[in-house]
Amino acid sequence: MAGYTSDVAKSHKKFTTALNRAKTRQACLNAYWKHKNEHENLLKKHLKEELADVNKKKAKIPYR
């Protein structure tokens, strides 16, 4: 599995390609909305994985 940073880089590359290829105002907006949705999903997944790591570490530390 690729890392979060490389996934974001791929997403941005796809977005810039789509934006450069767009010939209409609507195509520009469609590229943006698709990119935004993809970016939000990547971030949500990344933060979920990080929270799981935090909870795993926290579970090993005893209460005082």
Q: What is the 3-state secondary structure of 3-30? A: CHHHHHHHHHHHHHHHHHHCCCHHHHHH
Domain ranges of the chain: 4-60
pTM: 0.81
Q: CB atoms < 10 A from the CB of 6, how many?
A: 10
CB 12 within 8 A of CB 42: no
Is pLDDT at 1 greater than 50 in this prediction?
no
- % residues pLDDT > 90 (the chain): 92
- Which H or E run contains 50? helix 25-60
For 13-40, the pLDDT digits (tens) are: 999 999 999 999 999 999 999 999 999 9
